Structure 1
Amino acid sequence: MSNVEPGRHLPLESLHESAGARFGAFAGWNMPLTYPAGVMKEHLHTREKAGLFDISHMQLFAVEGDEAAAFLSHACPLDAAAIGMGKSKYTVLLNEKAGIIDDLIITQLSATRFMVVANAGNAAKDEAHFRALAANFSVSLEALPRVLIALQGPEAESVLTNAGLDLSALTFMTATEPKPNWFASRSGYTGEDGFEVAMPVTEAQAFVEKLLADERVMWIGLAARDSLRLEAGLCLHGQDIDETTDPQSAGILWAIPKRVREEGTFVGAEALRAIHAKGSDQKRVGLKPEGRQPVRAGAPVIDADGTVVGRVTSGGFGPSAGHPIAMGYVAKNLAEPGTQLFTEVRGNRLELRVATLPFTPHRYRKG
């Protein structure tokens, strides 16, 4: 059901090899982690020009049928029929306890047709979950074999136009099908303006080589993708959100329309309403370590008395921010920006401050 045959190798792996990529395992795939330029240069290049990411490990699903909107509105806490033609919506897939199975982008292409983009590590689980729910609806679900690339940064639109793909009419979180079996959205995972473009495997190499011929474009690996999304305050499923966290604690309740939250019949609706009524014990926050020592995922967050009051879920150095950055969960009464907290790294106590997210401003192209 994945994009390629067993073995989990990207269709364009040879291009990454010839670019000198250093590979590593991620979500069961052999993925480029860094290129010879290194994480710092890759990160800053994306913020300044145009970074090219191969995200073909992610899975596209085409959902089609007379009851496609009703099906998606049951599977996810959204009103799928109200997304709007050519518009995309960030949402989540919940279990019955309102735990987050995955976070998704769903695009409405017509009254009866939608595109769903799922995370690589959850694609098989998502598909099984979707298919179980689809049994009660007149709907088809197709996992699409596509190469998916992201071009992110202030020069992204110009680069694509020069390569013969004019997406300048799109604004943030809108999408189109520019050619048969192609899908393109103005979206991304970096906080920058940018695009995600899916295409048939047979057409991908020629198009990607055309992009790479532009001197403004640089391959960017997973390591810089992680520092970029962390600076932008964006969650990584499996770290910042998972089936043990709910949308309210995660600070993504904004993705669920109020009417849907109060009246919807989506999976996990009753549990989410109960959580909302009671209030969360913890809250996802930004964390700024004092000094130059980065703090990594899994580190405890402790108060002045040494009591564990939370945990770090993502952490590293922010090249654009110019200092270490982190995200995590803390007790709700300690979530105010500026609150002094601590963590321990190799036996040493380090000071943390609760920080406002994002660490760097979003630069999306709004309408």
Structure 2
Amino acid sequence: MLRTIKRFNSTVTSQNIKKTALFNLHEELGAKMVPFAGYSMPLLYPTLQNHVESHHWVRQKAGLFDVSHMLQSKISGDETLSLLNKVTPTDFSLMPMYNGSLSVLLNSNGGIIDDLIIIREPGEGDCFHVVSNAARSKEVTTFLNEEIKTLNESKINFKIINDEALLALQGPMAAESLNKLVDSSGSKNDLKELFFGQRKEFILKNGIIVNVMRGGYTGEDGFEIAVKNNDALAFAKLLLSDSNVKPIGLAARDSLRLEAGMCLYGNELDMTTTPVEANLNWLISKTRRVATDNNSSIQFNGFSTIMDQLNNKSWTRRRIGFQYIDSKPSPAARHNDKIFNQDKTTEIGIVTSGSISPTLNTNIGQGYLKKGYTKTGNQYFVQVRKKFYPIEIKKMPFVPSHYYKG
């Protein structure tokens, strides 16, 4: 647990650290606050639950996460699809209104600048709501502004959203808890009609307006909810007044996302890693895999490299999941720990993330293995603190997902 806490600390000083609209509520609830991505964020709420209890609570009931540190933005205008065609491998021209998808921003070599959610919504020309990682805010903003300059700059509007908090409500009772607050008098205010990957506006019984996307980072049914900063505190307190909802911090969020097989930028993803190497082939739309697609002559960045890896399997490493074979108590593998073949002398890969899995009651992790070693079921060793522990390559997610798809 100490290594988990240390991993969230940073060199951010108290002079430049930011606070979300819920900072005072976190302190009121006794949260242990740590610097993360330039913000003071709750790691856990020790007076309420420990890390494992918080993890189980989300799997069994509903947890409320403050994710307001993430970057929200809007891209609109007549040339927006040209921009998205260039910087992502996903075909957003086919995306229905109010629907969204995970995608990645690609540099000229096909490396990943960031992973992000992009949702189509009404607006000027083609309009999309974008949510990207807090730790990559500067890089994402700079990159998009530079890419816009290479196109028809006057027909693309890129705007950062600064006046909204973002809350994540996750778990099997999330829908029930949120539905209690929604004004059901309007025909459009029905959470049952909001499916995984969709985002729509809802009005609460007290008049607060929220934009709700169904999905999340834990593998459970849940919602990512944008609300004006001025309404965020009242909204959070309403959710927490439900006995089935508890506040959850970064520690449990990390173990939950690991069980769900989700990537963390800086661990599984970086500027030198392509979507194929990251085992994210599904983000590369079939309509974008030809030299000139039907929607635009613009190819996505790194097209030649990525398509060669996809078609000719020219990649040399690939992201995998692994699980300890021995369930006896042992230290979890962490970022940069090495993976060895059965002989314990041939290094074949590296760990990117690792943690105890409270659901499976054993250690799990993600990493990258060299080509020829990535088959599910293969058994190897991970080296942790100079000791070797047997692991087995597992298909992800490690625990079943429960997304609401109708």
2:17 and 2:304 map into 1 onto residues whose CA distance is: 40
Asked which structure has the greater CA Rg, the reply is 2
Pick aligned residue for 2:39 from 29, 38, 53: 29
Query: Per-residue deviation at 1:6?
Result: 4.9
1:344 and 1:213 map into 2 onto residues whose CA distance is: 45
Query: Per-residue deviation at 1:78?
Result: 1.8
Pick aligned residue for 2:346 from 307, 330, 337: 307
Pick aligned residue for 1:270 from 277, 282, 304: 304
Q: Does 1:114 align with 2:114?
A: no
Which segment is superposed worse, 61-70 or 47-56? 61-70
Q: Does 1:286 align with 2:324?
A: no
Contact 1:96 1:271 in 2 (8 A): no
Query: Per-residue deviation at 1:275?
Result: 2.7
Question: 1:156 maps to which residue?
Answer: 174
After superposition, residues 1-367 of structure 1 pair within 5 angstroms as 6-36=16-46, 37-110=49-122, 112-135=126-149, 136-137=151-152, 138-145=155-162, 146-164=164-182, 166-178=190-202, 182-263=210-291, 265-279=299-313, 280-291=315-326, 292-293=329-330, 294-305=332-343, 306-367=345-406
2:290 and 2:63 map into 1 onto residues whose CA distance is: 40
1:63 and 1:271 map into 2 onto residues whose CA distance is: 27
Contact 1:51 1:151 in 2 (8 A): yes
Give the unaligned 5+ runs of structure 2.
1-14, 184-189, 294-298
Which segment is superposed worse, 257-266 or 108-117? 257-266
Secondary structure of 2:290's counterpart equals: helix
Which deviations, in whole Å up to 9, do the C-alpha atoms of 1:153-203 show, x marking residues without a partner?
Answer: 011111111122653321111111335974210010000000000111011
1:178 and 1:128 map into 2 onto residues whose CA distance is: 32
Change (3 A) 1:216 1:181: closer
Aligned residue-pair number = 363
Give the unaligned 5+ runs of structure 1.
none
Which segment is superposed worse, 99-108 or 268-277? 268-277
Query: Per-residue deviation at 1:108?
Result: 0.5
Pairwise CA RMSD: 1.6
2:87 and 2:272 map into 1 onto residues whose CA distance is: 18
Change (3 A) 1:183 1:6: farther
2:71 and 2:307 map into 1 onto residues whose CA distance is: 30
Which deviations, in whole Å up to 9, do the C-alpha atoms of 1:72-113 show, x marking residues without a partner?
Answer: 222211222211111111110011111111001100013621
Query: Per-residue deviation at 1:313?
Result: 0.5
Contact 2:17 2:39 in 1 (8 A): yes
Which segment is superposed worse, 66-75 or 7-16? 66-75
Query: Per-residue deviation at 1:58?
Result: 0.3
Contact 1:152 1:193 in 2 (8 A): yes
Which segment is superposed worse, 132-141 or 151-160? 132-141
2:120 and 2:250 map into 1 onto residues whose CA distance is: 29
Contact 1:70 1:80 in 2 (8 A): no
Contact 2:16 2:38 in 1 (8 A): no
Which deviations, in whole Å up to 9, do the C-alpha atoms of 1:224-271 show, x marking residues without a partner?
Answer: 000000001111111011112111111101111122033351222222
Aligned partner letter, 1:270: S
Secondary structure of 2:75's counterpart equals: strand
Contact 1:173 1:185 in 2 (8 A): yes
Aligned partner letter, 1:220: I
1:120 and 1:86 map into 2 onto residues whose CA distance is: 23
Q: TM-score, normalised by structure 2?
A: 0.86
